Structure 1
Amino acid sequence: MHSKNLSILPLVFAIAAGALAPASVTLAASRHAAPAAHKKPAAAAPAAEPTPGQTAVAGGAPALPAKAWLLMDFDSGQVLASANPDEPLPPASLTKMMTSFLVEQALRSGKLKKDELVTTSQNAWCRGSSTESCMYLPLNGQATVIDLLRGIIIQSGNDASKAIAEHMAGSEEGFAKLMNAEAQRLGMTHTHFVNATGLPDPAHKASARDLAILARAIIHDSADFYPIYAEREFKYNNIKQGNRNALLYTDPTVDGLKTGHTEEAGYCLVASSKRNGMRLITVILNTHSAQARADETRTLLGWGFGNFEKATPIQANAAVATAKVKFGKADTVAAGLGSPWSLTVPRGQQVQTSAQINPDLQAPLAKGAVIGKVVATSNGKPVGEAPLVAQADVERAGLMLRAWQHVAYLFGK
């Protein structure tokens, strides 16, 4: 029934991104192509007024015609530039990043198996309409969990999202509770999920900052599955569909994550790019066209990589400070970093560090125990911090030595 080959779609996406031609191109697509994230696309809305952003870079951040946007450093989670980062907005199919993340976590923990079969219910089934994006699962048919995961990430399948939600939680409503619990655990404080797809609901919202936090968690915690976000197409039920992230076809440094679109949400894109050892995450919410979300992401990535660089304020295991220790065989212990530490800072800016040692340290202390922190600043503003750990064991002194030390501390010696 669904036999039409859609292998032309990658070319369409690349053209839409402005990579192959300066003008936008519109091609008719069959109902199996499901070109919109949720709904059949209407004509592009008028371009919004550029939204200026906040950043530590001299000269300011670019102004992008999106309602909200954000640039985050992956390693530290530091927001490098943003506009309206905490405004809750309709996230459309960006919602499916949480759906896929929960599936990935369940696969990692063993709660789900890759070849486990999931049945498509009447509620999850796409009825052959072109008004929503679908994987085109057969009604009452079965698909493996790993195929559903690809259908969610690559094809943005509403049917795949609903089917796995029902399989994992009994209902989509129950799955939404899992989504919100995970959002709370991750620190997504301006997000509330109502469904697994991102279909419009007045209570279904997420902020640009929260979506970047989620993207960072996917990249960090789902390393085994993250390559799926870079796959350009997926064929299921004899229907080949292309990934709607146009940058995957035009920028080899981009390797994910997700697009979204509804009339309420506008055109949205969360992307990640790694260049010369530095990974950046971008979020674009509510811009006016598929080409705009790709162009604005490209602009933001170019600006970010051009204006920021990696800095290593202190080498790992280097002694940063000397901490006083009470009631130990040694009076002091060296404090240093327990692991490598790097920051992303504006190019050319100097980084200063200051150590803060916890007061009233007492033996015994184990090597590696956290005994303070080091704070990095640039131009007088904090840009990051890292824990300081004891560089050696400090054994507890004997009874007589401790008694003498008590007396000494009593008299302020």
Structure 2
Amino acid sequence: MPLLARASTLLLSLTAFAALLAAILLASQPAWAKGSRKAGWSPVAAEILMEAGSGKVLRARNADTLTYPASLTKMMTLMLTFEALDRGTLRPDQRLVVSKHAASMPPSRLWLAPGSTITVEQAILALVTRSANDAAVVLAEALGGSEPAFAGKMTARARALGMRRTVFRNASGLPDRLQRTTARDMAILSRALIRRHAGHYAYFQRRSFDWQGTTVYGHNRLMARYPGMDGIKTGYIAASGFNLAASAVRDGRRLIAVVMGGHSAATRDDRVADLLDIGFKRPTSPARPAPATPDLVITRKSSSAAERSTAVSVAVPSAKPSTGSAGGSAAGSWSIQVGAFASRAAAARSAGVTARRLGALAAGASPEIVRSGGLYKARLTGFPAANADAACATLKAAGHGCFAVQGR
């Protein structure tokens, strides 16, 4: 056979082999990755800019056009988790068992093994930083019994919040053609998390957390470079493009920006920054108070001292720092604990405002700040046992966290 003919035959054979190999690789893709993008198809580009306080929409483009939420889905998974913490049906240090279904989730993940355990707080941090799909399913199964049942609860909660066009089919945001949302609905969800769960919103500020001796870093890179931004969630699947729901505070005014369908994480982040800049340049009404920074607060639902140091509940409202002594009176051997905070100043504010709220019930009691486990615990000390119980009952009736602590 002539040399040219042999070369042509070899080229045809190689071409056929390459086509066969491509077909095999496509067939071996996991089911969640197939059919996510068609030739010539691009994700929906949508955006919305909203004032967090009033809910007023400042700018919108395709805000009601259906698209896919991707990992913005995890914001609803976290909302239902926060509500369970507030009800006491979950504790931050409670260990949850990892099922085979949860462990089978594709990345992004923590690579949890079937039968292993993870605490509720670790799962929360895994969602807000790593956007771990396996940890999302662990929470879903703990709260709903199964992931499909939990997805039904997610959709029902969305309707109650006014998210009219959202349907959730899983807890993670992994591709499902029936799981849909809009930029407006994601802004509504972001606003609800900020306003209704101030005591938990601080989790969204976390950029990393320690997991089994290693540091897990987050995906939200805009938060590191945009002044005032303190959350909340990134997302990506091929069908949605790059999504981001973000919130920032400047001069006492909080804005929410949602961008969906970005062509890259960088262009998405730049567009969110542009929207926030546009919003902050608008004139605002004077004398609008700055939102209180969310703090960790302990409640009696945690049964041990160790659990109380990590439990999370609603934030105590901000007030001017107390001018009282941090020492404490010996008028009684009981104290009431009303919060555990990241800073001494926040603990002092909480103790001061609690004393003023209790009025005569706090007569003879003094503010006391106790540092433990890296937190500052806000207490009023010097109560007789009966007065401590009465003071806590009053605070709980008003929706504030409190429990009594006997002195040594």
Q: For the superposition of Structure 1 and Structure 2, which TM-score range results when normalised by the shorter chain?
A: 0.5 to 0.7
* Cα separation, 1, equivalents of 2:87 and 2:239: 36
Question: Deviations for 1:35-56, whole angstroms, at most 9, x for unmatched residues?
Answer: xxx98xxxxx9998xxxxxxxx
Unaligned residue ranges in structure 2 (runs of 5+):
1-31, 34-38, 289-408
In structure 1, what residue type is equivalent to 2:223?
L
The structure richer in strand per residue is 1
The structure richer in helix per residue is 2
- Which residue does 2:263 correspond to in 1? 288
If asked which structure has higher relative contact order (CA below 8 Å, sep 6+), I would say: 1
- Which residue does 1:228 correspond to in 2? 203
* Cα separation, 2, equivalents of 1:237 and 1:257: 25
Q: Is the 8 A contact 2:243 2:260 kept in 1?
A: yes
* Cα separation, 2, equivalents of 1:70 and 1:46: 26
2:145 paired with 1:170: yes
Q: CA deviation at 1:248?
A: 1.5
Pairing partner for 1:211 from 173, 186, 192: 186
- Which residue does 1:83 correspond to in 2? 61
* TM-score normalised over the length of structure 1: 0.58
* Cα separation, 2, equivalents of 1:306 and 1:66: 27
Q: Is the 8 A contact 2:96 2:120 kept in 1?
A: yes
| Aligned ranges 1:8-407 → 2 under 5 Å | 67-126=45-104, 132-310=107-285
Root-mean-square deviation (Å): 2.4
* Cα separation, 1, equivalents of 2:173 and 2:89: 24
* Cα separation, 2, equivalents of 1:294 and 1:101: 24
Question: Deviations for 1:94-123, whole angstroms, at most 9, x for unmatched residues?
Answer: 000000111011101111111111000110
* Cα separation, 1, equivalents of 2:263 and 2:206: 25
In structure 2, what residue type is equivalent to 1:296?
R
* Cα separation, 2, equivalents of 1:72 and 1:169: 31
Q: CA deviation at 1:126?
A: 4.5
In structure 1, what residue type is equivalent to 2:81?
V
4+ residue stretches of structure 1 with deviation over 6 A? 45-48
Unaligned residue ranges in structure 1 (runs of 5+):
1-37, 40-44, 49-64, 314-413
* Cα separation, 1, equivalents of 2:40 and 2:198: 39
In structure 1, what residue type is equivalent to 2:60?
S
Question: Deviations for 1:290-328, whole angstroms, at most 9, x for unmatched residues?
Answer: 101111011111111112423589xxxxxxxxxxxxxxx
* TM-score normalised over the length of structure 2: 0.59
* Cα separation, 2, equivalents of 1:299 and 1:125: 39
Q: CA deviation at 1:136?
A: 2.6
* Cα separation, 2, equivalents of 1:91 and 1:237: 30
Question: Deviations for 1:132-174, whole angstroms, at most 9, x for unmatched residues?
Answer: 2012323211111111111111110100000111111110000
In structure 2, what residue type is equivalent to 1:122?
K
Q: CA deviation at 1:240?
A: 2.1
